[in-house]
Structure 1
Amino acid sequence: MEVNNRLWVKRLSLSQQLIVLIVCFVSFFAVFFFIFVNSNVNNYTEEQMFTQLSETQDNLSYIYHSVDVDTTQLAQNDNRMIDSYFFKRDNEGIYHVEYHADGLKDDKKIYADVYNNLLVQDAIQKGPLGVFYEDESIARVYPGNKYTYYSIRMLEDDVVLVSLLNNAYINEFKSTFVENVIDITVFVVGLFFVIMMLWVGNIIRPLHIIKNYIDRIRVGKEATMKINRKDEIGEVAEALVTMQEELNKQEKTKEEMIHNISHDLKTPIATIKSYGESIKDGIYPYDTLEKSVDVIIDNANRLEKKVRSLLFMNRVEYILSQDSDEIVTDMRDVVDTVVLNTKVIRPEIEIEKNTMSSLFRGNEEAWRVCVENLLENALRYAKTQIVITLDEEQLCIYNDGEQIPEEILPTLFKPYEKGRDGQFGLGLSIVSKVVHSANYKVVAENVETGGVIFKIRLNSTDAHLT
């Protein structure tokens, strides 16, 4: 079920995912509002109402103590939503309402509740542990029809101020508060939605450009792409453009290489064919039968080498994909074997070996082909000498031939690249594949005193094999 849900989400576009996100956000906020906010609005309203009562009584108390004013006029100047009453106690201890008596007595229940509280507070005040002191308030909640909250404050020993808050004001305050919260919520959600839509649009637009660019490349059409962004999308777009340029370059180089390989294969085949036909007719194209056969053998060897390189290039991925993590090869044995087999190519070149037993991780056949390609490359360009050095850390093959142009060095190990003599080859690309598959690295460097050296060594993060 969880997998199906994930697949369902993945089928949605970014815009649809955004809409789902907004709906979930609004639903969650609605539940939160009605459960949490609605449950707290009464508490907030009650707090605000008692604050209003307290401020009203503070003002009336201040005026009462500082100005000689009639209590009737004082009460009439009060807040229209708060009804204030002055209760005065006579000599017999009975409280009388000096103002608004008829209006208060209309609500007999609250009048009785207020009056009973006056008597209770009066009894406490007269007792030995009186707590109702002058100018202190007692706030009460009364579930009446017209009034809900009221507050009692003693102004003098025989004068008490009672303020009652009208239900109409309470309901109006609560309604206004809830409406404001809803308005703010709608505004925030709307603003959030607009910002998210702009943000998603800013993402979708370059993605569509990238998709169109890839579609045109896929069908072989010319395509250009310019996305002026510095974020991850811009990096992807730049990488795609760079990749396309590299692929175009490799495709062009591959076509040229295929043409050259075809020519390289055609030449020895034509030579072998023509020499064979001539010998069959009793004609020796190269003076004698033995020399003519030597030409055929030499061209056959050239042809075999070309075919073997092409076949191994196709097989190298399979060979390197085999599990060889626990296989190690003694590179001294590999070097000795390769030198013995290849030194006959140019016997006049001195091959000096400074080798010791050293274990390299990887398949022996792959390492043999790797060293063979490096040594044949060295024999091709060496003038008089090749030096092979092998220790526990690296394998180095030096030749005293001409140095490699600096502009060629960065692409020397890429497939289908031209060499320094302008010809194509797969040898060094095979070397690179073998070396990197075993987690080694290979570099070519020009030597200051002359010549070129190829080095194969462990990556710095790998431990040495013992």
Structure 2
Amino acid sequence: MLKRYSLQRQLIIIFGLFAIAVVIILVPLINKNLTELIDKQMYETLEMAQNRYIYYDYVPIESTTTKQIYHMKYYPNEETLVHSNNMSNSEAKALYNVFAKDLARMINSNKSTLHDKGTDLGGETIYYLITENSDIYFISLVYSDYSTDLVSGVQQQIINIMYIALAIVGIVIFVWVSSLIKPLRQITKYIENISKDKDSELKIERSDEIGIVSSSLIAMKEEIDKQNKIKEEMIHNISHDLKTPIALIKSYSQSVKDDIYPYGDKNSSMDVIIENAERLDNKVRSLLYLNRLDFISGQNTDAEVDMKELIEHIVLQLQGMHPEIKIETDLAFVSFKGDNECWRICVENIIENAFRYVKSYIKIMLKADYLEIYNDGEPIETDDIDALFQPYEKGTKGQFGLGLSIVYKTCTMYGYNVTAVNHETGVSFIITKKENQN
């Protein structure tokens, strides 16, 4: 229900309900415990005053600043009640009715002490303490207006303190929630600007979860900008790469149609058209496959590929096309997680790339979670290694700039890393399993 409201309104509602619950629950508890505490205090006061009266016959002089305590003596053998000088006979008779039943019960039960409180004819509450000493019953009494005033005063102080504490807590929570709302609004605005492709900055210097979210959003925005830039470059490169063979095919086809042969004869001119059509076909196929990998990467697969058998098959095919290149293999019986066709294209692209740069020797080594394809060609320029697996990054003898990006995307989606490493002589492409993958 509260989800419909803003955080500030939720805070006000929750804190209001909490405050009401505190008042409803705590105030009665405070009253009960405070009354019990005051009762205990009143009986202790009566006990001290009574002891002074019993042992020292001390009765305080009546004062307007302190509550008067009255004392009486009851002689059960004579059934006589004697009161102290600080009270009249009429007061003594009126107060006698308050404790008479308890006094009779004490005498009958031989009980030595008893304290309680009762009401006089005027409805006022009176605390009394009855103590038996040497067959004489001493009764001490005090009116409750003192305790009532004390309870009311303490209660009011506690309630005031509670209200102040609730107000302080409410202000602190409100300020704290406001400190959360401000960055959340900044994040919301930032996301809106991203969705509308507007320039926006997000500066939130926090180390809590909000700071982590904001840092993740900034990293996401940077990655989006990076991907957009890559897409723009891809579109530019694609249009440029496609334009040349299409223009050549159109011009040569028109020439042949007009019985004009740019390469001297019909067959030679048609070979040029076919060559560029194949080049165009390979380019389109690579682009389609690269996009297809995005779809495949969203699908979970538990399939495994026999990499030893796969590499042996690829080497057998390519060796026949390049008999002048020596290919040495050291292959263990190892399986990689993933699709057979995806890994075939991945390994083919690396080996074909090696054939373009190799001098005379290629070595392929396969072991658990590790594949290395080495060639003894020229090392990669240091500045090019980091960007080597990005789309349309071509080496000096590269063709389309898509082969190694297909390799990178294939390895990544199956939980593997691929790196290019320069050696003193030659270059290795190494595929290893990521540590956090099972």
Contact 1:86–1:99 at 8 Å: present in 2 too? no
Gaps of 5+ in 2: none
Which of 402, 408, 414 in structure 2 is aligned with 1:432? 408
CA RMSD of aligned residues (A): 3.5
Choose which of 438, 442, 451 in structure 1 pairs with 2:426.
451
2:348 aligns with 372
Equivalent residues of 1:82, 1:163 under 8 A apart: no
- Indicate the SS of the match to 2:207: coil
Q: Which amino acid aligns with 2:96?
A: Y
Pick one of 298, 302, 308 that aligns with 1:332. Answer: 308
1:203, distance to aligned residue in structure 2 (A): 0.8
Q: What is the DSSP-based 3-state SS (H/G/I as helix, E as strand, rest coil) of the residue aligned with 1:142?
A: strand
Deviations 1:64-99 (A, max 9, x none): 746xxx645x35369733422142759946231122
Aligned to 1:112: 97
1:85 is aligned, of 71, 83, 92, to 71
Do the aligned partners of residues 20 and 400 (structure 1) sit closer, same or farther apart at CA in structure 2, a change above 3 Å counting? farther
Q: Secondary structure at the match of 2:12?
A: helix
Distance 1:10 1:235 in 2: 23
Q: Does 1:57 align with 2:47?
A: yes
Provide the rounded CA distance (Å) in 2 between the counterparts of 1:462 and 1:243.
Answer: 23
User: 1:399 touches 1:452 (CA, 8 Å); kept in 2?
Assistant: yes
User: What residue in structure 2 maps to residue 361 of structure 1?
Assistant: 337
CA contact (8 A) 1:75 1:85 kept: no
Structure 2 residue aligned with 1:128: none
User: How many angstroms apart in 2 are the aligned matches of 1:153 and 1:309?
Assistant: 108
- The 1:54/1:425 distance shift into structure 2, 3 A limit, reads same
Q: Which residue of 2 aligns with 1:169?
A: 146
Which residue does the alignment assign to 1:9?
A: 2
Q: Which moved more, 1:87-96 or 1:177-186?
A: 87-96
Check 1:121–1:244 CA distance in 2 against 1; reply closer, same or farther (3 A cut).
Answer: closer
- Indicate yes or no: 2:1 matched with 1:21: no
Map residues 337-356 of structure 1 onto 2, 5 A cutoff.
Answer: 337-342=313-318, 348-356=324-332
Question: Is the 1:400–1:450 contact (alpha carbons within 8 Å) kept by the matching residues of 2?
Answer: yes
Question: Any idea what the Cα deviations from partners look like across 1:19-60, whole Å, max 9, x if unmatched?
Answer: 221133123223323xxx426624531332232331353256
Q: Which residue in 2 is equivalent to 1:396?
A: 372
8 Å contact from structure 2 (residues 38, 151) kept in 1: no
- Deviation (angstroms), 1:311: 0.9
2:131/2:137 contact within 8 Å kept: yes
Q: Say yes or no: does 1:41 pair with 2:31.
A: yes
Query: Which residue matches 1:150?
Result: 128
Rounded to whole Å, the distance in 1 between the matches of 2:216 and 2:80 is: 94
Aligned residues of 1:71 and 1:98 also touching (Cα < 8 A): no
Question: May I ask how many residue pairs the two structures share in their alignment?
Answer: 435
Secondary structure of 1:446's aligned partner:
strand
Q: Which amino acid aligns with 2:249?
A: I
Given residue 227 of structure 1, which amino acid in structure 2 is its aligned partner? Answer: I
Same amino acid, percent of matched pairs: 35
Answer with 360-369 or 416-425: which moved more.
Answer: 416-425
Change (3 A) 1:89 1:324: closer
- Please report how far the alpha carbon of residue 340 of structure 1 lies from its aligned counterpart in structure 2 after TM superposition: 4.8
Does the 8 A contact of 2:326 with 2:361 survive in 1? yes
Comparing 331-340 with 281-290, which one deviates more in the overlay?
Answer: 281-290
2:276 pairs with one of 299, 310, 322:
299
The SS at the match of 2:371 is strand
Q: Distance in 2 between matches of 1:150 and 1:41?
A: 21
Matches of 1:184 and 1:345, distance apart in 2: 92
Counterpart selection for 1:96 from 68, 82, 93: 82
CA offset at residue 142 of structure 1?
A: 1.9
Instruction: Decide whether aligned partners of structure 1 residues 14 and 278 sit closer, same or farther in structure 2, where only a CA change above 3 A counts.
Output: same
Larger CA deviation: 337-346 vs 243-252: 337-346
Contact 2:62 2:68 in 1 (8 A): no
1:87–1:160 CA contact under 8 A, matched in 2: yes
Aligned partners of 2:78 and 2:93: how far apart in 1? 23
Contact conserved, 1:441 with 1:459, CA < 8 A, in 2? Answer: yes
**Map of 2:186 onto structure 1:** 209
Give the corresponding residue for 1:226: 203
Q: In the superposition, relative to structure 1, how do residues 141 and 42 fare at CA in structure 2: closer, same or farther (>3 Å)?
A: farther
Cα separation, 2, equivalents of 1:149 and 1:406? 98
**Separation in 1, partners of 2:101, 2:298:** 96
Q: Is the Cα contact below 8 Å between 2:357 and 2:397 reproduced in 1?
A: no
Label 1:84 to 1:225 Cα distance change in 2 as closer, same or farther (>3 A). same
User: Are positions 1:311 and 2:304 aligned together?
Assistant: no
Change (3 A) 1:380 1:182: farther
Return the offset for 1:309: 0.8
Q: Give the 3 Å change call, closer, same or farther, for CA 31–101 of structure 1 in structure 2.
A: closer
Distance in 1 between the 2:387 and 2:211 partners? 26
1:54 counterpart letter in structure 2: E
8 Å CA contact 2:327, 2:361 repeated in 1: yes
**2 CA distance for matches of 1:393 and 1:421?**
30
Q: List per-residue Cα deviations over 1:359-414 (Å, max 9, x = no partner).
A: 3332222222222222233233333332222334332222233434555545544x
* C-alpha contact (below 8 Å) 1:50/1:139 kept by paired residues: no
Between 76-85 and 228-237, report the one with greater CA deviation.
Answer: 76-85
Paired letter, 1:260? N
Q: What displacement does 1:441 show? A: 0.5
Give the counterpart letter for 1:24 in structure 2: L
- Structure 1 residue 196: Cα displacement: 1.5
Closer/same/farther in 2, CA of residues 273 and 386 from structure 1, 3 Å limit: farther
Deviation of 1:259 after TM superposition, in Å, equals 1.5
| Runs of 4 or more above 6 Å deviation | none
Report the CA distance between 1:308 and its aligned residue: 0.6
Q: Give TM-score scaled by structure 2 length.
A: 0.84
Q: Is the 8 A contact 2:245 2:276 kept in 1?
A: yes
Given that 1:444 and 1:452 are in contact with CA atoms closer than 8 Å, whether structure 2 keeps it comes out as no
